[in-house]
Amino acid sequence: MNGYGRGFFGMPPVVKNIIMLNILMFVVYLIGAGGFGIDLNRVLGLYFPKSEMFRPYQLVTHMFMHANFMHIFFNMYALFIFGQVLENVWGPKRFFIFYFVCGLGAALTHETAIYFQYLKLMNIVPPEQLQGVLESQILYIPTVGASGAIFGVLLGFGILFPNTQLMLLFPPIPIKAKWFVLIYGGIEFFLAIWQPGSKVAHTAHLGGMLFAYILIKYWQKTTKTLY
């Protein structure tokens, strides 16, 4: 998708530092996994709070870990295209708050969805099989990625610049930002309902968009401008 930007060195500070930190952590993850047999995603990824693997710091660290190259590439590309526009409009402090509210909100939404899945399993799985099912489907499955925060950034761009024309890469057609966000959000909503056990955290994506919307509407009511 074509968008905005003046190159890496022209990026505003928060977006630049977030991208650099994500890349650094991905390189460290690859080195740890390939050279030392250490899977940092299983240490810094976010676990369900009832798991013995859960640590409070994972609420933040999971946003800087990624499963593979394509995962981090698309997240950082979207942040590069849309995030710097928002930071240039809002300034570093407000964008920093926005990004992490979206990321934490996405995590909260995702963990809430897992909690309901946990309750469902508790009710339908026989007691003698329950622990094994919980371990394989919930307790030892970490969530990683900046996607929740990135979806919040997408929604923020769509709200502030709804009629901006974007050019998709696949397929190569123009589309207004508001329709792009609505279509993307609709797809995530559909997948969250029909693929609740998917390895992709669709509820986290929706949560990032939800908290982005709430925060922007709050700012609109409490300040004369958004920047």
Q: Kindly report the CATH number assigned to the domain that includes residue 159.
A: 1.20.1540.10
Strands (E), the chain: 165-167, 174-176
How many CB atoms lie under 10 A from the CB of residue 173?
9
Q: How far apart are the first and last CA of the chain?
A: 26
How many CB atoms lie under 10 A from the CB of residue 223?
10
Count Cβ atoms within 10 A of the Cβ of residue 42 and give its class: 0-12 exposed, 13-18 middle, 19 or more buried. Answer: middle
Mean of pLDDT values over 62-77: 96
Mean of pLDDT values over 162-180: 88
d(CA 9, CA 135): 45
Question: 211 — alpha (psi -120 to 50), left (phi > 0) or beta?
Answer: alpha
Per-residue pLDDT at 72 = 97
Looking at the predicted structure, is the pLDDT value of residue 2 above 50?
A: no
Average pLDDT, the chain: 92
Looking at the predicted structure, is the pLDDT value of residue 177 above 90?
A: yes
Query: For residue 36, what are the domain limits?
Result: 8-222
d(CA 34, CA 46): 22
Looking at the DSSP bridge assignments, the partners of residue 166 are 175
d(CA 96, CA 88): 12
How many CB atoms lie under 10 A from the CB of residue 145?
27
The total of structural domains in the chain comes to: 1
What are the phi and psi torsion angles at 2 (to 5°)? -80, 145
Count Cβ atoms within 10 A of the Cβ of residue 193 and give its class: 0-12 exposed, 13-18 middle, 19 or more buried. Answer: exposed
Q: Are residues 159 and 86 in contact, defined by beta-carbon separation less than 8 angstroms?
A: no
Query: Is residue 209 in some structural domain?
Result: yes
Query: Is residue 2 in some structural domain?
Result: no
Query: Is residue 40 in some structural domain?
Result: yes
Mean of pLDDT values over 195-209: 84
Mean of pLDDT values over 118-124: 95
